[in-house]
Amino acid sequence: MKKIILQFLCLIQGLFLSGQLSEPINSDNISTYFEEIQNATKEGFKVWNKDLYGSILLVDPKTRQVYSNEPNADNSLKLQNKIYIGKLPDSMNIANTSVQWSGKNWAMIMLPLPENHYERVNLLAHELFHKAQSSLGFTQSNKESNHLDQKDGRIYLRLELEALKKAVRSESEKEKKIHLTNAFIFRKYRNTLFPQSATTENQLELNEGIAEYTGFIISDRNKEQSKKHLINSTDAFFSNPTYVRSFAYHTVPVYGYLLSLKNRFWNREISANTNITDFFIKKFEINIPVNLKAAAEKNSNHYHGVLIFTEELARENKIKKKIAEYQSKFIEQPHLEIRFEKMNVSFDPRNILPIADKGTVYPNIRVIDNWGILEVENGALMSPDWSKMSISIPTKIEEQKAEGDGWILLLKDSYTIKKDEKTNNYSIIKK
- What pLDDT band is residue 420 in, cutting at 50, 70 and 90? very high
Rounded to 5°, angle at Cα 164 from 163 and 168: 120
Q: Report pLDDT for 104.
A: 92
The answer on pLDDT for 1 being more than 70 is no
Rounded to 5°, angle at Cα 53 from 51 and 59: 160
Q: Report pLDDT for 16.
A: 35
Give the N- to C-terminal CA distance of the chain in Å, as an integer: 23
What pLDDT, in 10s, does the model give residues 145-165? 999 999 999 999 999 999 999
Average model confidence (pLDDT) for the chain?
A: 92
What strands lie across the sheet with 380-382, from one edge to the other?
A: 353-355, 359-362, 380-382, 388-392, 335-339, 426-430, 415-419
Q: Could you give phi then psi for residue 36, rounded to 5 degrees?
A: -60, -50
If you write DSSP's letter for every residue of 90-136 in order, what string do you get?
TTS---SEEEEETTEEEEEEESSPBSSHHHHHHHHHHHHHHHHTTTT
DSSP for residue 329: I
Q: Is 184 within 8 Å of 251 (Cβ atoms)?
A: no
Q: Report pLDDT for 325.
A: 94
What lies within 8 Å, CB to CB, of 264 at 6+ separation is: none
C-alpha span between 352 and 383 (Å, rounded): 13
Q: Could you give phi then psi for residue 104, rounded to 5 degrees?
A: -140, 160
Buried b (16+ CB within 10 A) or exposed e, 53-71: bbbbbbbbeeeebbbbbeb
Q: Report pLDDT for 13.
A: 38
What pLDDT, in 10s, does the model give residues 333-353? 999 999 999 999 998 877 899
What pLDDT, in 10s, does the model give residues 28-59? 799 999 999 999 999 999 999 999 999 999 99
311-326: average pLDDT: 94
What lies within 8 Å, CB to CB, of 192 at 6+ separation is: 292, 293
What pLDDT, in 10s, does the model give residues 71-121? 999 999 999 988 999 999 998 999 999 999 998 999 999 999 999 999 999
Q: Which of 83, 99, 91, 79 is nearest to 25 (CA)?
A: 83
Q: Report pLDDT for 350.
A: 77
Q: Report pLDDT for 190.
A: 98
The answer on pLDDT for 27 being more than 80 is no
C-alpha span between 272 and 78 (Å, rounded): 38
Q: Report pLDDT for 4.
A: 45
Q: Report pLDDT for 12.
A: 38
- What pLDDT band is residue 24 in, cutting at 50, 70 and 90? low
Q: Report pLDDT for 158.
A: 98
Buried b (16+ CB within 10 A) or exposed e, 269-297: ebeeebebbebbbeebebeeeeebeebbe
